Structure 1
Amino acid sequence: MFKKSYPNYFYTSDGTRLFYNTNFPLNELNPEKPVMVFIYGLLCSNSHFKYQIPYFEELGYQILLHDYRFHFSSSQDGDIESCNFPNIARDLHELLADLNIKKTLFVGHSMGVNICLEHARRYPEDVSAQVLISGTVVPPQDIMFDSNIIDITMPYIEMFTKKYPELYKAVWKHSYKNPIAQYAIFDGGFNKKQVNIEFIQLYMKKISELPENLFFHLLKLMHDHDIINHLESIETPTLVIGGDKDKIIPNYLQQILTKHLPKSQLYIVKDGSHVPQADFPEMINHRINQFIKKSGILSGKKS
């Protein structure tokens, strides 16, 4: 994903191994320039930023990618309950400190918005500015697809997974090969006129690499997240982005975020889906870059 990668591992204070990757050698970190940190969503990966990462690298930005605990190349050992928003935020806080990164721009998508906000709440000194794309600070089960159908059906789906664990595991590992499943995700979460099916195929293939019990665990974390009670204390300059055709997270949620975050501005993308950064990458990239320039973090001043 980078022109030249510098992958590495970091061990957190509780011994969890995190994978991370930078587009610069650590001994060449420029502390005067911000490091962009991309924060992906539930069952997603850094491939959801495939159009942002090369664009900002080409502009000369320093970039840090990492995998959360229990995700991809990071450790998937131990109790999955330890994979929670406070720990994920602390892991990244420790990683930034270890790398001596003091100026950052967080870019979070979907569940990554929860993680960004949790981090900004707990470690405000880490985050110079943030971009929040298609997130929600209310339980997603209550509002996904503008209904509570997920909240109603989820207990039955979870009961099925517990009753037939091997069957569920097989479905989890191989559903990316199913064209019907591919189309369902394509139709539900993306602008089909703007995104090609290969993007969805890669997305689903990456899902199969994750533990099969992670989905219900993370969805519960989002349901129980109390970050809405702390929004007004988060002073980080913020750009909130949503798609006006987002079927998963209705964009009035972005208006709620903007209303309660003291230093925020809203950008709604016409015909944008739940993944507007893939639908209209040039538009999103330009808007993020414009926000970065106006936020003051390039000059060392926060707006």
Structure 2
Amino acid sequence: MSGEPGYFHQDTLRVPDGAELYYQVTGDGEPGAVLCDGLGCDGFAWKYLAPYLSRHHRVLRWHYRGHGRSGIPMDRERIGMLYTCDDLQRVMDAAGMERAVLFGHSMGVQVALEFHRRYARRVQGLVLLCGSYGNPLDTFHDSNVLKKMFPTLRRVVERFPEQSARLIHAALRTELAVQLAITLEMNRERIARNDLAPYFEHLARMDPVVFVRTLDSLAEHSAWDHLLHVDVPTLVVAGERDKFTPGWLSRKMAARIPESELVVIPEGTHTAPLEAPGLVELRVERFLRERLGKPSTPSADGVRILPPAARA
């Protein structure tokens, strides 16, 4: 792997069941970092953190089955958490990363924890951002309404996939969808429209059947029983105003993981890495330095919380 500044490599990996997985590697340096996305995402949450990490670390970004530039397996039933963890192991092999710090945002938190359960020797540390240890439909907006509605939604999507795709794609491509999300779910004073729009653009292109099958796997998965067995340095990052994964979940998770650290982003929501990039970078940098022995760098001395206008 090249150590030149600005190093970039991208490729696809075909796994045994036919799915083609997209991945890219940037930067160089240890410990390496693997970034695991949220559901329906192709990397929008890492807009600021990924290039920051790439200045001193080898950073692996990849797309789940049916997400972003990754394909769908020949057997469309092969969607879910266990396949995701196996895929991650193969992608790390392809990228030449024997061990790494796993970063997870939203769904990526469950992926990182389950991967540690199954492949602990390959995990040097965990950075868990704005996510849950499991069963996210039980706690979405501190309610189980979505959990009750989901079986019906899934049946409709599975039975009428083409019609569902047309309806969903049309709705998500509207400016109204973006503005509603910013107003109702995010911190409007902190999030820039151009930071959130890529999420809707990707979701509008995504196969809705893949989405609901992935969500079904998440809804049934929990790493709660594994938290006590996490034996690597762990940083938990929560948004104070996160409605998708309420802050109490992060506190509960951090309290159960031995010797973990918790940082709560003031006024942060589910997109805290985009709303307060400097604060997240500073805290991650300190964690890597103090808990994983990464040398100090001048970039860790200050905090930048950019207003939306500066990130547009």
TM > 0.5: yes
How far 1:164 moved relative to its partner? 4.6
Aligned equivalents of 2:105, 2:184: Cα separation in 1: 16
Indicate yes or no: 2:260 matched with 1:264.
yes
Distance 1:252 1:241, change over 3 A: same
Distance 1:243 1:18, change over 3 A: same
Alignment of 1:1-303 (within 5 A): 3-24=6-27, 33-58=30-55, 60-162=56-158, 164-298=160-294
Q: Letter of the aligned partner of 2:13 in structure 1?
A: F
CA contact (8 A) 2:109 2:128 kept: yes
Deviation track 1:199-249 (CA, whole Å, cap 9, x = no partner) reads 222110011222111222122111111321222112121100101111111
In structure 2, the residue corresponding to 1:106 is in which secondary structure?
Answer: strand
Stretch deviating more after TM superposition (124-133 or 210-219): 210-219
Aligned equivalents of 1:237, 1:136: Cα separation in 2: 18
Aligned equivalents of 1:80, 1:232: Cα separation in 2: 34
How far 1:290 moved relative to its partner? 0.6
How far 1:198 moved relative to its partner? 2.0
CA contact (8 A) 1:141 1:150 kept: yes
Aligned equivalents of 2:284, 2:244: Cα separation in 1: 22
CA contact (8 A) 1:37 1:107 kept: yes
* TM-score, with structure 1 as normaliser: 0.89
Aligned equivalents of 2:76, 2:131: Cα separation in 1: 23
Q: Letter of the aligned partner of 1:52 in structure 2?
A: L
Q: Letter of the aligned partner of 1:5 in structure 2?
A: F
Q: Letter of the aligned partner of 1:92 in structure 2?
A: L
In structure 1, the residue corresponding to 2:71 is in which secondary structure?
Answer: coil
How far 1:181 moved relative to its partner? 1.9
How far 1:157 moved relative to its partner? 3.1
CA contact (8 A) 1:143 1:250 kept: yes
Deviation track 1:250-300 (CA, whole Å, cap 9, x = no partner) reads 11100111122113111111101011101100000110011000112538x
CA contact (8 A) 1:128 1:297 kept: no
Aligned equivalents of 1:237, 1:137: Cα separation in 2: 16
How far 1:162 moved relative to its partner? 4.9
Aligned equivalents of 1:271, 1:119: Cα separation in 2: 30
Q: Letter of the aligned partner of 1:184 in structure 2?
A: L
Deviation track 1:42-66 (CA, whole Å, cap 9, x = no partner) reads 11121211011122223x2211111
Q: Letter of the aligned partner of 1:206 in structure 2?
A: H
Q: Which runs of 5 or more residues in structure 1 are unaligned? A: none
Q: Letter of the aligned partner of 2:191 in structure 1?
A: V
**Aligned equivalent of 2:306:** none
In structure 1, the residue corresponding to 2:237 is in which secondary structure?
Answer: strand
CA contact (8 A) 1:120 1:236 kept: no
Deviation track 1:171-203 (CA, whole Å, cap 9, x = no partner) reads 222323222222232234321111112222211
CA contact (8 A) 1:176 1:204 kept: yes
How far 1:69 moved relative to its partner? 1.9
Q: Letter of the aligned partner of 2:172 in structure 1?
A: Y
* TM-score, with structure 2 as normaliser: 0.86
Matched length: 291
Stretch deviating more after TM superposition (259-268 or 149-158): 149-158
How far 1:3 moved relative to its partner? 4.6
What is the alpha-carbon root mean square deviation over aligned residues? Answer: 2.1
